[in-house]
Amino acid sequence: MTTHYDQSTQAGSPAAWGPPPTAAPPSHRAGEPKQPFVHRLWRGRPEDPRWARPAFLGLLAATLVVYLYDLSASGYANSFYSAAVQAGSTSWKAFFFGSLDAGNAITVDKPSAFLWPMELSVRIFGLNSWAILTPEVLMGVGTVAVVYAAVRRRFSPVAGLVAGAVLALTPVAALMFRFNNPDAMLALLMALACYFVVRAMEDGRTKWLVWAGAAIGFAFLAKTLQAFLILPPLAIVYAVCAPVTLKKRLAQLALATVALVVFGGWWVAIVELWPASSRPYIGGSQNNSFLELTFGYNGLGRISGDETGSVGGGGGAGGSGRWGATGWDRMFSSEIGSQISWLLPAALILLVAGLWATRKMRRTSVTRASFLVWGGSLLITMVVFSYMAGIFHQYYTVALAPYLAAVIGMGAGLLWERRTEIWASITLAASAVAAAAWGYVLLNRTSSYLPWLKWLVLIGGLAAALGLVFAGRVSRQLALGAAAVGLVAALAGPTAYTLSTVDSAHTGSIPTAGPAGASMMGFGGGRMGGGKAGGMRGGFGGGMPGRQGQGQNGNGFPGAGAGGFPGGGMPGRNGSAQGRQNGNGLPGGGRMGEGGMGGGMGAGGLLNGANVSSAAKQLLEKNASRYTWVAASIGSQNAASYQLATGDPVMAIGGFNGTDPSPTLAQFKKYVADGKIHYFIAGGGMGGGMGGSSNGIASQISSWVQKNFKKVTVGSATFYDLTQKKSG
């Protein structure tokens, strides 16, 4: 195994642990016949072992198969974004702006770029779960490939394979690369940005740094300011360590900044300059401004917790709020730990070891820069996530997965090559112990889930650590055996959780990875493990989606219907009525107060959509072509459910939370007078009851509709016919 490390601190001295990458033989020599593409694809680089490329392709194939497994079980996954995909697949205007509906009433609360691959897929293959979610899977496979390429290029194929496997088997990665939130695209582009910066570090070529700026800029169009979290370490590392003059480094960083602004700003400029009267309202903002959305609800408000229009922030540093306690240990907590932290202690050990091992290398050391780029991205993202007081969901931590995986691969690869040095072998052993001990702790939190596995992880990891201590003093075969045992023990826990994740349906706004009950997070002071079978406890009444009918009878939330929001079950897997029985909290699937008016605060209106019966669907589809919107509903999730069921535009009053001031009562009255909306759907959303919005527009519209229009009941769902005034 040939490893490419940098030269020592003395310029021109021989490489410490092998030739630098520039010494690698070219893939094609002059005068030699060029090999067929298939041969080159299978063989890979001539300097690599023959098994390296087949192993890499096997890793990608295995990742693809695992992530595609039973993909349709989650249906439309997050119906909020699936409705936007449906709209964008039928309207190019909705495609560009990210509108929730083809009538272009309001956008989703993010930029639209992350929707584009899904919308193009649906345009080609039609609206279905596979067409929506397969692009996300491909982004996951692409991210694994990028991390492998980055680690293999500077270290070794084995190190790259370890990094790729760690990423593929991280539970939250398996969750989000099979889900339709913005995070899949964000993770891919952030990994590409790190890869491009390290490439630029090799020879100081400007194009790689410009590509890094472009990747971060486009990532901004996926999830706004979160894309900028890793800018400080990337910029500082290049400014200090790049192998060109300081003047050129600063000029290159300026060009990369221009690329970032161009790739991230073109869409923003068009949206801000477009007349507001002819584009959809910017969802999530209070002033119909994307810039306000960026720096408020989706930006600095997430840090401070001051998010106008949201459902409430966290508890501040060290505090406990709606989204869990903040503090240095947040990533290891019972709410977050099982999603991402399995190998986080080992990664931190290996990061410190990597920086120590490269401390005497020259300023331009690409090996050290690799640790600084990937490790710096890991640390800054982890710190921000740990202390942000605003809205925080467990699945956000997928952003850490590529960085963590790269650090594991790089650190393990470097220390393995230096295992004859006692400090390196002891550090390898320490990382194995850390992975095994923390894996035991995480598995013990769900003691009824594979109770034997935690002992296998602990004993296997400790045995491997003992062997790794002597890795430099025993035969290579024995050392490899100890390393293999340690790797299996370290990955056993996250692999089990990953397999449990892909074998479960995930729907709604707050999905979590792993078995039921593995990850709990508060909302309104309660605790829950949302978006999969069972395991939800606390403030809401009713059951979450149940696989094979789990969560029936409103028991997904203990105390259903008492002391919380009006109780109700959410849709079960495969669209069945399981998981909804005897819990009538969702509009379209039961009651929400009396008729659900006034913008009721049902859990389903915020976290998931409604159960749309065939009778309700038939009602809305009748004469649908006559109207711009077949219906209007408070809150995006509720509107999304009806839109996906009918295929026709449904207006979401108040956006995601029901707190956006769109449309105004006057605008809504004009839409009705112009005959653009057929029905008003009772219930749904937060309706201005929470989130700092005091204008009560959703409640005003609800009251006006209830007072003036004819009520239509279809099963347990309530509608108001906006073409039929109340008599008398």
pLDDT of residue 145: 97
698 contact partners, CB below 8 Å, separation of at least 6: 599, 634, 635, 653, 654, 658, 659, 685, 687, 688
Position 321 confidence tier, pLDDT thresholds 50, 70, 90 = low
Question: Does residue 553 have a pLDDT over 70?
Answer: no
CB 646 within 8 A of CB 630: yes
Summarize the confidence of residues 43-56 as an average pLDDT: 86
pLDDT of residue 303: 77
pLDDT of residue 616: 93
Q: What whole-number distance in Å separates Cα of residue 286 and Cα of residue 288?
A: 6
pLDDT tens string 329-354: 999 999 999 999 999 999 999 999 99
pLDDT of residue 492: 97
Question: Does residue 581 have a pLDDT over 60?
Answer: no
117 contact partners, CB below 8 Å, separation of at least 6: 135, 139, 185
Q: What whole-number distance in Å separates Cα of residue 151 and Cα of residue 354?
A: 13
Question: Does residue 533 have a pLDDT over 60?
Answer: no
H/E element holding 702? helix 697-708
Question: Does residue 597 have a pLDDT over 80?
Answer: no
Report the chain's terminal Cα–Cα distance, integer Å: 87
pLDDT of residue 309: 55
Tell whether omega for the bond before 233 is within 30 degrees of 0, i.e. cis.
no
What integer best gives the mean pLDDT of the chain? 82
Question: Does residue 229 have a pLDDT over 90?
Answer: yes
CB 376 within 8 A of CB 315: no
Phi, psi for 634 (deg, rounded to 5): -80, 125
Q: What whole-number distance in Å separates Cα of residue 435 and Cα of residue 493?
A: 10
- 13-19 LR contacts (CB < 8 Å, sep 24+): 16/361, 17/417, 17/418, 18/417
pLDDT tens string 362-374: 999 999 999 999 9
Q: What whole-number distance in Å separates Cα of residue 148 and Cα of residue 75?
A: 31
Residue 718: strand, helix, or coil: strand
